[in-house]
């Protein structure tokens, strides 16, 4: 496994935030839609399936965007569907660990992975989840990031940017990062003096993230605002470990 470097880089979303509740699932449903949702370019008329498991009584002020629209070019097949030693898929493990600590999650995916069943395990947690399908994912992770940022609800004061191919991050690590987050701060976890993922950005930086291009958006924001960075030491090697190739599954 190779340490991930830098940042390669809303639910309760109201329709005005670019979400149409009728897109593939009824608002009261507690499971993923079985039919393929319509998806269009999010900058024009975004149509997204909405998965609601809204059993929490108090909305979270720090949510998470889980970027899950990659193309697995180095893996050779659909990486997020690959099976880990515990029997879960990479995506399911990453989502489950995150959902144990974060009440509201936006998953940014793409149509081909939806059709392949990648996201169909997201109703297993007591978490409010929104799935957005990004047609621009092939242009770089920055485009997926922009789609997620655009859907953040007003009550989030911060957002963690998480990667779906990092299934070894501990649930408590996500909680520690969320607890240290606020609207003016950028929180970066570090293990043995190495920075990793996820990174939390305060609301003050959402516009800058939404204007990002390619794969450099989050990294550029960090470089531009070094005084806002809080480096949080965590006892979790998982923040450095992503899965790029089949041999990383062992």
Render pLDDT for 180-227 as a digit per residue (tens, 0 to 9). Answer: 999 999 999 999 999 999 999 999 999 999 887 656 668 889 999 999
Q: Which residues pair with 162 in a beta bridge?
A: 66
Side-chain half-sphere CA neighbours of 202 within 13 A: 15
Output DSSP code: residue 214: T
Over 80: is that where the pLDDT of 99 sits?
A: yes
CATH for 161: 3.90.550.10
Q: Which residues pair with 130 in a beta bridge?
A: 50, 106
List the domain range (segments joined by +) for residue 179.
Answer: 2-249
Structure tokens at 11: 């639910």
User: Is residue 130 within 8 Å of residue 149, measured between CB atoms?
Assistant: no
pLDDT class for 139, splitting at 50, 70, 90? confident
Q: What pLDDT sits at residue 8?
A: 41
Total domains present in the chain? 1
Of the listed ranges 41-55, 67-81, 127-141, 151-165, the least confidently predicted one is 41-55
pLDDT class for 13, splitting at 50, 70, 90? very low
- What's the gap between Cα 21 and its chain centre? 20
Side-chain half-sphere CA neighbours of 213 within 13 A: 0
């Amino acid at each position: 496994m190779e340490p991930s470097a830098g940042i390669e880089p809303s639910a309760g979303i109201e329709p005005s935030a670019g979400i149409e509740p009728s897109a593939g699932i009824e608002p009261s449903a507690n499971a993923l839609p079985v039919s393929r949702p319509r998806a269009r370019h999010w900058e024009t008329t975004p149509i997204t399936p909405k998965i609601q498991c809204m059993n929490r009584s108090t909305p979270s002020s720090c949510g998470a965007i889980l970027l899950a629209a990659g193309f697995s070019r180095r893996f050779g097949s659909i990486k997020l569907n690959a099976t880990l030693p515990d029997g879960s898929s990479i995506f399911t493990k990453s989502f489950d660990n995150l959902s144990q600590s974060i009440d509201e999650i936006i998953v940014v995916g793409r149509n081909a992975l939806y059709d392949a069943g990648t996201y169909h395990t997201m109703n297993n947690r007591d978490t409010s989840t929104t799935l957005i399908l990004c047609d621009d994912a092939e242009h770089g992770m920055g485009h997926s990031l922009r789609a997620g940022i655009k859907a953040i609800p007003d009550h989030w004061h911060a957002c963690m940017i998480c990667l779906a191919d990092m299934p070894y991050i501990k649930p408590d690590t996500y909680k520690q990062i969320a607890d240290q987050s606020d609207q003016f701060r950028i929180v970066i976890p570090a293990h043995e003096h190495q920075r990793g993922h996820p990174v939390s950005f305060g609301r003050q930086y959402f516009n800058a993230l939404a204007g990002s291009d390619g794969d450099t958006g989050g990294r550029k924001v960090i470089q531009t605002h070094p005084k806002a960075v809080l480096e949080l030491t965590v006892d979790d090697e998982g923040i450095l470990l992503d899965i790029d190739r089949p041999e990383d599954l062992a």
